[in-house]
Amino acid sequence: MALLKLELDTQEIIDNFFDDTRLLGIVTTVKDYRFCWNLNNMLEINFRINHDIEIGLKRKKDNISFQFMNIMNPTAHFHYLYNNLHDGEFLLPEFKNLDFLWLMKNDTVTEEYLNQIKAMLRNIPGVQLVTELTNEKIKNKEYLIF
């Protein structure tokens, strides 16, 4: 008896997830805990590590777990801050120059709001670059979905 092999097509799930998202790439010279502390204090938000969910990837025979932070505020859903580097491996290898990725998913993320966030990020000590990443530039979108 031949086994039937089913393959899950995730492209539609990925496309739907990224319909109303904005993604910022951030380069900073400070450690992740210091950057997050500055981010929370200067922008008056509350990013916290989410210990309940990790993004697990298999790289070079090793399993790597990437933690991420989300805003712990019930009115500010769908703001996630990913550390792009863990144990010498990158969450999104196509963006090796970026330290953090800030994903905002909500139809209320207007151009004005995004520009305000970028301006505030540039005022945080140690931040060298803030850039918006278009969905077309992201090769491994599925790594940002948990």
10 is a domain residue? no
The pLDDT, as a whole number, for residue 107 is 66
Banded pLDDT at 42 (limits 50, 70, 90)? confident
User: Shortest CA distance to 66 belongs to which of 78, 52, 56, 79?
Assistant: 56
Residues whose CB is less than 8 angstroms from the CB of residue 34 and which lie 6 or more positions away in sequence, other chains included: 126
Is residue 23 in some structural domain?
Answer: yes
Task: Tell whether 7 is covered by a domain.
Answer: no
Residue 2 lies in a domain: no
Taking each helix axis as running N to C, give the angle between helix 32-43 and helix 111-122, from 0 to 180 degrees, rounded to the nearest 10.
Answer: 120
pLDDT band at 32 (very low <50, low <70, confident <90, very high): confident
| pTM of the predicted protein model | 0.81
Residue 4 within a domain: no
The sign of the dihedral angle between the CA atoms of 125, 73, 76, 146 is: positive
Please tell me the predicted confidence (pLDDT) of residue 56: 67
Domain for residue 9, yes or no?
no
Query: Containing domain of residue 125, as a range?
Result: 16-144
Whether 49 maps to a domain, the answer reads yes
Q: What CATH number is given to the structural domain containing 117?
A: 3.30.310
Q: Is residue 11 part of a domain?
A: no
Q: Is the predicted pLDDT of residue 58 greater than 70, yes or no?
A: no
How many domains, in total, are found in the chain? 1
